Amino acid sequence: MNYTHTACLGAGVIGASWTALFLASGRSVAVYDPSPEAEKTVREYVETAWPTLTRMGLTENGTPDALTFHASAAAAVEGSDFVQENVPERLAIKHALFAEIEPTLKPGAIVASSASGLTLGQMQGGWTDPSPLVLGHPFNPPHLVPLVEVMGNERTGAGVADAAAAFYESIGKVTVRVHKEVPGHVANRLQAAVWREAIHLAKEGVASVGDIDKAMWAGPGLRWAAMGPTACFSMGAGPGGLQAFCDHFRDTFNGWWDDLGQPHLDDETIALIVEGANEAAGDLSHADMLERRDAMIVAMQEVLRPYRKV
């Protein structure tokens, strides 16, 4: 199935970004969000994102005009082949939404949830038959960052997770498969681990918040944008590969791991990192930082595209 007609339920930052990407890929998109400002904000988001999507070569088959807005979630999903759910991460809200749309879903339609903090099993509680539901967790903003974490389980229909992954890949996404339910899935846990140590270093006065961020983007972050940490370390000890690296650095890493901090986001810690982040940002506004972030993400992907094999 080509999944030519899609729906986005919830049109905040994530939903609007998905909408822009689906439109760019040549799909029509039906949007539902209870906010009276939803249509205005989504159309403005798509208009702003479109030149960037064009620069990335993603709009050749798409048009921003294949967009409709609906007064209910049930109306939005009617006739849709693929539904991306992005409503607030509260189980009661998600369960109520799923109960509303289940009777009107097109046979064979897939519903993918963008949830980052809830598990697939928790969300399946809102269904009579949860076979159409998969996890389809993106990284923000979905129209620029290619990652999607896809998961099905024993209650997911046969082939549904595979079909969802194939759909995402057809619109330029990079998918990873999650095989076991854990809070935060995969990528969020990785970044949470790094951020925890960044906060620990700041609290201990080892370096400023700005310099800790700089140490990431100018060092390991640059390598990790090309390859993941395990692949990078496999090249760190010469022809002997990862085995040689582990043999050489076993005690070093064990010592570092034993010394890693375990800070918590209490009021004092939050105040420390907020002050540090504001100092590092200087005169840049929130909008300035968003623009700079997005421009750099696009530029990196353009440069890396000829080398990327996934």
Three-class DSSP category at 32: strand
pLDDT at 306 (0 to 100): 87
User: Is it the case that residue 1 has pLDDT exceeding 80?
Assistant: no
Mean of the pLDDT values across residues 64-74?
97
pLDDT at 308 (0 to 100): 80
Give residue-wise pLDDT tens across range 15-56.
999 999 999 999 999 999 999 999 999 999 999 999 999 998
Give ranges for CATH 1.10.1040.10 in the chain. 187-226+264-307
Mean of the pLDDT values across residues 245-253?
95
pTM for the predicted model, two decimal places = 0.92
**Domain spanning 5-177: which CATH class is it, in words?**
alpha beta
User: Is it the case that residue 300 has pLDDT exceeding 60?
Assistant: yes
Sequence-distant contacts of 151-160: CB under 8 A, at least 24 apart: 151/120, 151/177, 151/178, 151/179, 151/181, 151/185, 152/120, 153/120, 153/121, 153/124, 153/181, 155/121, 155/124, 155/130, 155/131, 156/120, 156/130, 156/131, 157/131, 157/132, 160/110, 160/131, 160/132, 160/134
**Of 301 and 154, which is predicted with more confidence?**
154
Mean of the pLDDT values across residues 159-185?
96
pLDDT range class, residue 305, cuts 50, 70, 90: confident
pLDDT at 310 (0 to 100): 57
Give ranges for CATH 3.40.50.720 in the chain. 5-177
DSSP 105: P
Give residue-wise pLDDT tens across range 267-288.
999 999 999 999 999 999 998 9
- In terms of CATH, what superfamily is 187-226+264-307? N-(1-d-carboxylethyl)-l-norvaline Dehydrogenase; domain 2 (1.10.1040.10)
Residues of the chain with pLDDT > 90, as a percent, come to: 89
Mean of the pLDDT values across residues 90-119?
96
Distance between CA atoms of residues 23 and 67, nearest Å: 8
Give residue-wise pLDDT tens across range 71-99.
999 999 999 999 999 999 999 999 999 99
pLDDT at 237 (0 to 100): 84
Give residue-wise pLDDT tens across range 176-204.
999 999 999 999 999 999 999 999 999 99
Q: What's the mean per-residue pLDDT of the chain?
A: 95
Bridge partners (DSSP) listed for residue 149: 137, 176
Contact of 22 with 45, CB cutoff 8 Å: no
Distance between CA atoms of residues 26 and 253, nearest Å: 48
Mean of the pLDDT values across residues 2-19?
96
